[in-house]
Chains A and B, each alone.
Chain A
Amino acid sequence: MERTTLDLWVGLFVVAGLAALFGLALKVSNMDSFAGASSYQVVASFDNIGSLKVQAPIKSAGVVVGRVSNIIFNNKTFEADVTLKLNSRYVFPKDSSAEVMTSGLLGEQYLALAPGGDSQNLVNGDKIKLTQSAMVLENLISQFLYNKASDSSKNSSGSGATATPGTNP
């Protein structure tokens, strides 16, 4: 087939377009970390996941090791079953624990994975037994206020400097 300069231009255009697509995939989005890379899935159940979302990062020691791939409400245990998709490069002991954390004071929520001491590692389909739910701000505040109230009623005669009067909401 004969070649023309027109073909060259079209070729350049297609290359530029595909390069832009790859740029969007690799440089702009997070495809490089997980697309293609093999992974395994484990499940963890939480009493409360706060505002954790699908695709939220899973971090261990601050490094992203996977992403939340699915969240469903379990109608038998009344808990949230979260599926964790972990990169196969990283392995964790069977008794590792998962905790819903918040990055910064009001930032997005992520899942923190703390490794345990078991000699066997988590494999595909395993369940993480130790979990800690999300901190809910309202519970936190009421807990704090409740503790303060009981503290001050217990030793009202003691150090009055720290006591706060009239604490019933």
Chain B
Amino acid sequence: MKPSKENIIARIGHRSINSIWEMGVTARFLLQILWRSGTSVRRFQLVIREIYASGVLSLIIIVVSGLFVGMVLGLQGYQTLQTYGSENSLGVLVALSLVRELGPVVAALLFASRAGSAITAEVGLMKTTEQLQAMEMMAVDPVARIIAPRFWGGVISMPLLAAIFSMVGVYGGYLVGVVVMGVDDGSFWSQMQSAVNWRDDVLNGVIKSVVFGFAITTIALFQGYDAMPTAEWISRATTRTVVNSSLAILALDFILTSFMFKGM
């Protein structure tokens, strides 16, 4: 495992093989979660608890960031569009950027660092203090009882958070564009409505955030569940959760975008 002092190529090779390996293990882990999700459905109270932990507790950062991102979009968009005399299209610019890209992606990045790292730390700690083992010895499957509810809690929270982010962002753009800069109220909304499509833009954005939710929670849970039971490894696993899920979000976003908005 340890990269020796050999040459750099061997080290890169080691790393790539290891990451492919890890990807395979993560995928198998995801299948296990899905397979043992029966408990989460039967005892939905467990999932509600996790929606609180990852969804409700992420709400403040999502709302504040959404507002600011929307306001920046409004400001920048206004400056640029004004030069072409088409500041009435500001609504279109703000809404499309948020609904298609920034909403799902930025919300997912924030979710990964707020909720994802918390999940990793929590599960890692449970492993370190032998809670998962104790549960196993009590004839309770930790994957069904601990992992799966957290998974579904995250998967349910993610699209809701992304939608809230986009909506708050649109109002942030409205605040700057219409209230401060004086863009016409009616054309802000009507141009937006005629340009943003329910299915192609909004629904695709939601699909994106669902996929991100799957990726982030799987990575976070895996890193926690797979961590060596020491404090040092947990802190490393938490960092890895944020790094890996951010990379996964951006890569998945590119793939999904190229599928969804091909003909546009």
Contact = CB atoms under 8 A, between A and B. Distances in A.
B198 interface: yes
A29 B189 CA distance: 9
A150 B125 CA distance: 88
Contact of A13 (B51, B159, B193, B205): B51
Contacts of A28: 95, 99, 166-167, 170, 192-193, 196, 202
A35 interface: yes
A30 B51 contact: no
Contacts of B166: 20, 24, 28
A7 B142 CA distance: 23
A21 B163 contact: yes
A10 B56 contact: yes
Contacts of A19: 167
A104 to B, nearest CB: 10
Interface residues of A, number: 27
A129 interface: no
B189 A55 contact: no
Interface in A55-92: 55, 57, 64
Interface of B: 45, 48-49, 51-52, 55-56, 59, 95, 99, 157, 159-161, 163-164, 166-168, 170, 189, 192-194, 196-198, 200-202, 205-206, 263
Contacts of B197: 29-30, 55
A10 B55 contact: yes
A109 B160 CA distance: 35
A31 B198 contact: yes
A143 to B, nearest CB: 29
Interface string A13-40: 1101111110111011111000100000
5 contacts: A13-B55, A16-B160, A21-B202, A24-B170, A30-B193
A24 B49 CA distance: 27
A30 B202 CA distance: 10
B167 A10 contact: no
A14 B52 CA distance: 10
B202 A29 contact: yes
Nearest to B190: A30
A144 interface: no
B167 A24 contact: yes
A12 B160 CA distance: 11
Nearest to B103: A24
Q: Which of A16, A17, A18, A27 has the most CB of B within 10 A?
A: A17
A19 B178 CA distance: 23
Nearest 4 A-B pairs (CB), nearest first? Answer: A17-B160, A31-B198, A20-B167, A20-B163
Interface string A110-136: 000000000000000000000000000
A111 to B, nearest CB: 14
Contacts of A24: 99, 163, 166-167, 170, 202, 205
A21 B163 CA distance: 5
A18 B200 CA distance: 19
Nearest to B194: A30
A6 interface: yes
B201 A29 contact: yes
B189 A30 contact: no
Contacts of B56: 9-10, 12-13
Given A9-B56, A10-B48, A16 B196 contact: no
B160 A30 contact: no
Nearest to B51: A10
A141 interface: no
B17 to A, nearest CB: 41
Nearest to A11: B48
